[in-house]
Amino acid sequence: MIELKKDSMRGQMDNESQRFIEELERKYEGSMTYRTFATWFGSSDKVVREFGVFIFKINEIVYFEDFERVPSILGITLPSSKRATPYVKLEESFDPKKVVHISTVTRSYATDVVQQKREIVQSGKLPWYKSFFSKLVTQLIFEDGKALFFELINPKEFIGAVKEAKGERI
């Protein structure tokens, strides 16, 4: 019989992840009841994160934050460009009860809104060909008119978590 040995690197990563989650729970004084990752993020106030954000819910508030991406090749850190803009950490939150509309939109539309080339619109269901041929993101529109866009790994789960926090049926 072959005995499987626990990969020490994986165990280390699991411990780091657990410490990170515990730190967030202490910071926001509650238990994390939902978490996911968006591979792209944009907001109507011109904020974009090309390398994603961590999204989590504690005490009925949804928080999201990004991490500094250090360029590397094969694990070797590359020097940053002198012309590169300095990294500014993104840490924001929203109350799901203030979301007035959730929909799926194309990432090109979201990019246009982020760059303020288009107005925010409450869209309906996308035509099948746009759903099939376009990158899709989840759009949240708030009472104050602001919009957030998330390219999610599992958008249905995220939409369900937001609706549940709002007290809506899923």
41, containing H or E segment: strand 32-43
Residue 4: what pLDDT?
38
Residue 1 covered by a domain:
no
Token pair of 76, please? 């070797």
Can you list the residues of the chain whose pLDDT is less than 50?
1-10
Residue 107 covered by a domain:
yes
Residue 141 covered by a domain:
yes
Residue 14 covered by a domain:
no
Residue 53: what pLDDT?
95
Residue 137 covered by a domain:
yes
Residue 9 covered by a domain:
no
Evaluate whether 150 touches 158 at the Cβ level (below 8 Å). yes
* Dist CA 137 CA 153 (whole Å): 10
Q: Which three-class secondary structure state does DSSP give residue 121?
A: coil
* Dist CA 166 CA 95 (whole Å): 9
The amino acid present at 52, given as its one-letter code, is: G
164, containing H or E segment: helix 155-166
Residue 51: what pLDDT?
84
Residue 72: what pLDDT?
66
* Mean pLDDT, the chain, whole residue set: 85
Q: Which domain holds residue 158?
A: 39-50+97-166
Residue 45: what pLDDT?
94
Residue 78: what pLDDT?
65
- Report the predicted TM-score, pTM, of the whole model to 2 decimal places: 0.82
Residue 159 covered by a domain:
yes
Residue 15: what pLDDT?
84
Residue 5: what pLDDT?
40
Phi then psi for residue 12, to 5 deg, are -65, -45
Residue 131: what pLDDT?
72
Residue 59 covered by a domain:
no
Residues 6+ apart with CB under 8 A from 147: 43, 44, 113, 120, 139, 140, 141
Q: What is the count of structural domains for the chain?
A: 1
Please report, rounded to a whole number, the percentage of residues in the chain having pLDDT higher than 70: 84
